Amino acid sequence: MLDVIGLSKKYNKTLAVDNVSFDIQNGTVGVLIGPNGSGKSTIIKSVAGLLRYTGEIKINNLPNKDIEAKKVFGYIPEIPAMFPLLTVREHIVYILKAYGLEIDNEKIDSLLKRFDLTDKQDKLGDELSKGMMQKVSICCALAVEPEVIMLDEPMVGLDPKAIKELKIIIKELKEKNCTILISTHMLEMVEDVWDMMILMKEGRKVGQYYKNQMGDKDLEELFFELTGEEDE
Ligand SMILES: Nc1ncnc2c1ncn2[C@@H]1O[C@H](COP(=O)(O)OP(=O)(O)OP(=O)(O)O)[C@@H](O)[C@H]1O
């Protein structure tokens, strides 16, 4: 479960996030949407503990910066960060070690296979394409079997097969009662997985909507209706 309570973040004079609150229950996919610059990445980075902010963020009822909270939390950043001298496989091993988990080679093999990385597992971090880096970053986050996972624009740069696999994985995580937060502009990619939508505009949460209350409307239709922007 993820709780964000009264979150505000200023970068110098820019109020990027203005008193935003929401919660996402276990087994629920929340999507964070809004125009460019509306504060989505700032929220995600705050939850991930990468920024200073005011307000409270709790993961499974623990402060997000608590080590016990970090142990159950996975994060796929918008821009993947690779270790240049670690191989693809070593990235996953490294993460498992950092989380204090056993090195389960079968689990690693299966993740690599799902993302077509088996024959790339010995490539170094700085030898990878952008899409491959994104896949490694996804494998690392999944390897720790998080209870709460955040994905910042996860589909960008992925090939169609990897997008399909990721969508299946999101559904599997949901079935395992995971709490999932996805920030994206690719609304059609989350159409069949979302449960709750948090709509951001100019740093403020301007709405929170549940799929089961939205009738037949799709996410894109809702977005244009709610933001008053033109669908061209
Ligand atoms: N490091 C930074 N320094 C200063 N201002 C920043 C910084 N990062 C973001 N901002 C500002 O904070 C506001 C929110 O940015 P943020 O990246 O959170 O938006 P976003 O909704 O994720 O945008 P996008 O859809 O373009 O990724 C913007 O006005 C942006 O210019």
CB of 210 shorter than 6 A to ligand 1: no
Per-residue pLDDT at 12: 93
Atom of ligand 1 nearest to the CA of 45: 18
Which structure tokens are listed for 19? 């008193």
pLDDT tens for each residue of 24-36: 999 999 999 998 9
Per-residue pLDDT at 227: 77
CB of 11 shorter than 6 A to ligand 1: yes
Per-residue pLDDT at 123: 97
CB of 45 shorter than 6 A to ligand 1: no
- For residue 208, the surrounding DSSP H or E stretch is strand 204-210
- Tell me how far the alpha carbon of residue 36 lies from the centroid of ligand 1, in angstroms: 8
**What percent of the chain is modeled with pLDDT above 90?**
83
Per-residue pLDDT at 203: 97
CA distances to 32, 80, 127, 134 from 24, rounded to whole Å, are: 11, 25, 37, 25
Mean pLDDT of the chain: 93
Which structure tokens are listed for 62? 């623990």
Atom of ligand 1 nearest to the CA of 153: 27
C-beta of residue 156 within 8 angstroms of C-beta of residue 131: no
The candidate with the shortest Cα–Cα distance to 40, out of 221, 191, 186, 144, is 186
- Tell me how far the alpha carbon of residue 40 lies from the centroid of ligand 1, in angstroms: 8
pLDDT tens for each residue of 152-193: 999 888 999 999 999 999 999 999 999 999 999 888 888 889
Per-residue pLDDT at 188: 84
pLDDT tens for each residue of 78-111: 899 999 999 999 999 999 999 999 999 999 999 9
Q: How far is 157 from 163, CA to CA, in rounded Å? A: 9
Enumerate residues 6+ apart whose C-beta is below 8 A from 64.
47, 48, 49, 57, 58, 70, 73
3-class state of residue 18 by DSSP: strand
Per-residue pLDDT at 150: 95
- Tell me how far the alpha carbon of residue 169 lies from the centroid of ligand 1, in angstroms: 28
C-beta of residue 156 within 8 angstroms of C-beta of residue 140: no
CB of 36 shorter than 6 A to ligand 1: yes
pLDDT tens for each residue of 192-217: 899 999 999 999 999 899 988 887 78
Return the CATH superfamily for domain 1-64+149-157+179-232.
Answer: P-loop containing nucleotide triphosphate hydrolases (3.40.50.300)
**What percent of the chain is modeled with pLDDT above 70?**
98
Enumerate residues 6+ apart whose C-beta is below 8 A from 47.
2, 4, 57, 59, 64, 150, 181
Per-residue pLDDT at 213: 85
Residue whose Cα lies nearest atom 1 of ligand 1: it is 11
- Tell me how far the alpha carbon of residue 180 lies from the centroid of ligand 1, in angstroms: 22
Most informative mutation of 8, 31, 36 for ligand 1 (most atoms within 8 A of CB) = 36
DSSP state of 148: E
Domain locations in the chain? 1-64+149-157+179-232
ipTM of the complex: 0.98
pLDDT tens for each residue of 57-81: 999 999 999 999 999 999 999 899 9
- In this predicted structure, the answer to whether residue 42 has a pLDDT above a threshold of 70 is yes
Per-residue pLDDT at 217: 80
Atom of ligand 1 nearest to the CA of 43: 18
